[in-house]
């Protein structure tokens, strides 16, 4: 059934701030419903940007008096050179000269469009964290605002509104956000602090964020996600490829790192010696590329999409469109291997196979939670603690044994430090064609991850993490802090582990933050 969109724009409030001659020219276009923004630059003709192009509003250049006229009606302009009109969604952005005088204004029309999120309402209500991408003016903030309103009907929603684009200017949020609460940000550089404050002070189930653009904000988003809070946000970029190439924001999708293979391994795969892999679990579950206002490209599993793209065989995205009658169509994108790509190519999107999370070898078998019918595997450990390896084998219940001679082994596992030094045992294993796995560190977590990937086990709980041990360890840390310790750092663990730790700390009315980068990211518990 088609659904008619309801649009509220309070356009008159914006027009009342503009020079009369400019307003008259806008009204003469008879196309105010499609007006996007008005441009006033000193010494240039005023222009209006519409959905389908630009219109010159006057042959007379904009004067200093006209710019001052608009500025005087705005009041204070924030540190990010933005201002708004109270109880509306309009935004006026200033351009300054070197003397900090305003010489240009971009007056953007803010519209609350009710019903625009019906195209992704099923994803919104599924409780998944959603990241929206799209060029300026394509409707990211409009969809974000709608998502906040829908979620607020049944959940505790807090909007971190840095530029007041979501909830509008003034102390009272715009009705378009429904029951969602709104936290304003004093300066853009403090957005990450307000994000954390929102979680610690207001107990939200959902955090809504517009324009994640800095490293601190990406890290804050990861911390929030690890605490079990649903995230809905936007970021700069048009496609998944763009995001993977952005060193600041790639952490939102798990981060990308390069891995160096041995000569033999690279030759076996037919790849360059350097390949790319995803570093950690993504902060967001779903990525939505807003190609046009009524056309979306959706990656329902960001982790799988990134891994496939790094292998050079991208997964087909889900394409959703809305026609003129409001009918929504869902279809699969026609995806094919990147032209000229090999498994393990040499450029982003074509660099071959995703290596194991703890070594350069690839697991080509499909993931399975079943341990039946697994072949017995003999493992030679060089530099890796054999007691940890045997313990992990027992915990994961996999058919493996540790052998003392490489001639008896099916698999060779070592540490990165030994591998880089090209120890004789490593070189002998490679010459024999034996799979060589390289661990970053001699830790129980790395050993469990190695076995999990070797046997292609399910990733449901990060390769055999023991929930009871984790809870006991966290409880001990909580007790220590309650008994006077300033803080306690817990061992590094998966995102799932950290989520449990954060929840337990919150239940004990303590504060917890995540520090570091994968795979050594850990939780610290402390008092305020």
The HSE-up count of residue 307 (CA atoms within 13 Å, CB side) is 15
Mean pLDDT over residues 486-515, rounded? 85
pLDDT of residue 3 exceeding 70, the answer is: no
pLDDT score for 342: 37
Q: Which of 194, 202, 88 is nearest to 155 (CA)?
A: 202
Domain 467-526 has CATH 3.40.50.720: no
Phi, psi angles (nearest 5°) of residue 468: -65, -40
Peptide bond between residue 519 and the one before it cis (omega within 30 degrees of 0): yes
Q: What percent of the chain has pLDDT over 90?
A: 33
CATH architecture of 377-454: 3-Layer(aba) Sandwich (3.40)
Please check whether residue 120 is in contact with residue 148, taking contact to mean a CB–CB distance below 8 angstroms: no
SS3 42: strand
Looking at domain 114-332, its CATH class is alpha beta
Residue 394: pLDDT band with limits 50, 70, 90: confident
338: phi then psi, degrees, rounded to nearest 5: -60, 130
Q: Where are the beta strands (DSSP E) in 145-184?
A: 157-161, 181-184
CATH top class, domain 6-110: alpha beta
Residue 360 has pLDDT above 50, yes or no: no
Confidence category of residue 79, pLDDT binned at 50, 70, 90? confident
> DSSP states of 459-494 as a string?
-TTTTT--HHHHHHHHHHHHHHHHTT-SEEEPPP--
- Determine the pLDDT at residue 144: 92
Asked if the model's pLDDT at residue 369 lies above 50, the reply is no
Whether 335 has a pLDDT exceeding 70, the answer reads: no
| Residue ranges of domains in the chain | 6-110, 114-332, 377-454, 467-526
Domain 377-454 in the same topology as domain 114-332: yes
How confident is the model over 85-108, as a mean pLDDT?
92
Spatial distance between the Cα atoms of 224 and 230, rounded to a whole number of angstroms? 8
Q: Which residues of 515-526 are buried (b: 16+ CB within 10 A; e: fewer)?
A: eeebbebbbbbb
Of 207-216, 264-273, 306-315, 316-325, the one with minimum mean pLDDT is 264-273
Query: How far apart are the C-alpha atoms of 234 and 210, rounded to whole Å?
Result: 5
Position 368 pLDDT exceeds 50: no
């Amino acid at each position: 059934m088609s659904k008619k969109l309801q649009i509220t724009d309070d356009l008159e409030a914006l027009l009342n701030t503009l020079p009369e001659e400019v307003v008259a020219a806008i009204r003469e276009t008879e196309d105010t419903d499609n007006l996007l923004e008005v441009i006033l630059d000193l010494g240039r003709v005023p222009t209006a940007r519409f959905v389908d192009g630009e219109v010159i509003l006057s042959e007379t250049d904009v004067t200093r008096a006209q710019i001052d006229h608009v500025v005087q009606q705005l009041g204070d302009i924030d540190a990010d050179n933005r201002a708004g009109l109270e109880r509306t969604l309009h935004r006026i952005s200033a351009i300054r000269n070197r003397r900090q005088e305003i010489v240009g204004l971009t007056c953007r029309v803010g519209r609350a469009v009710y019903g625009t999120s019906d195209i992704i309402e099923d994803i919104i209500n599924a409780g998944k964290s959603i990241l929206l991408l799209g060029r300026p003016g394509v409707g990211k903030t409009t969809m974000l605002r709608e998502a906040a309103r829908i979620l607020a009907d049944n959940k505790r929603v807090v909007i971190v509104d840095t530029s007041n684009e979501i909830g509008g200017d003034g102390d009272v949020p715009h009705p378009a956000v429904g029951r969602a609460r709104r936290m304003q940000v004093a300066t853009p550089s403090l957005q990450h602090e307000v994000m954390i404050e929102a979680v610690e002070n207001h107990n939200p189930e959902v955090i809504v964020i517009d324009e994640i653009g800095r490293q601190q904000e990406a890290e804050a988003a990861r911390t929030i996600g690890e605490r079990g809070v649903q995230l809905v946000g936007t970021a700069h970029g048009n496609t998944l490829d763009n995001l993977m190439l952005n060193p600041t924001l790639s952490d939102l999708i798990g981060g990308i790192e390069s891995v160096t293979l041995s000569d033999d391994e690279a030759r076996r795969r037919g790849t360059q010696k350097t390949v790319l892999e995803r570093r950690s679990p993504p902060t967001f579950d779903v990525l939505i590329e807003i190609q046009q206002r009524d056309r979306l490209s959706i990656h329902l599993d960001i982790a799988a999409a990134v891994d496939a793209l790094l292998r050079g065989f991208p997964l087909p995205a889900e394409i959703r469109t809305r026609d003129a009658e409001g009918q929504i169509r869902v279809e699969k994108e026609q995806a094919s291997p990147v032209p000229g790509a090999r498994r393990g190519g040499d450029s982003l999107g074509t660099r071959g196979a995703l290596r194991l999370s703890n070594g350069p070898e690839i697991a080509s078998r499909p993931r399975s939670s079943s341990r039946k019918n697994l072949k017995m595997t003999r493992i030679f450990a060089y530099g890796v603690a054999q007691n940890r390896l045997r313990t992990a084998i027992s915990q994961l219940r996999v058919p493996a044994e540790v052998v003392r001679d490489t001639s008896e082994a099916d698999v060779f596992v070592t540490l990165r430090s030994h591998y880089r030094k090209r120890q004789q045992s490593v070189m002998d294993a490679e010459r024999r064609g034996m799979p060589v796995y390289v661990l970053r560190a001699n830790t129980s977590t790395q050993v469990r991850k190695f076995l999990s990937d070797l046997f292609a086990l399910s990733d449901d709980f990060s390769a055999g993490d023991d929930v009871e041990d984790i809870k006991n360890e966290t409880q001990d840390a909580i007790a220590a802090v309650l008994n006077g310790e300033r803080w306690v750092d817990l061992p590094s663990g998966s995102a799932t582990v950290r989520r449990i730790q954060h929840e337990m700390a919150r239940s004990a009315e303590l504060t917890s933050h995540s520090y570091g980068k994968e795979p050594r990211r850990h939780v610290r518990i402390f008092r305020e």
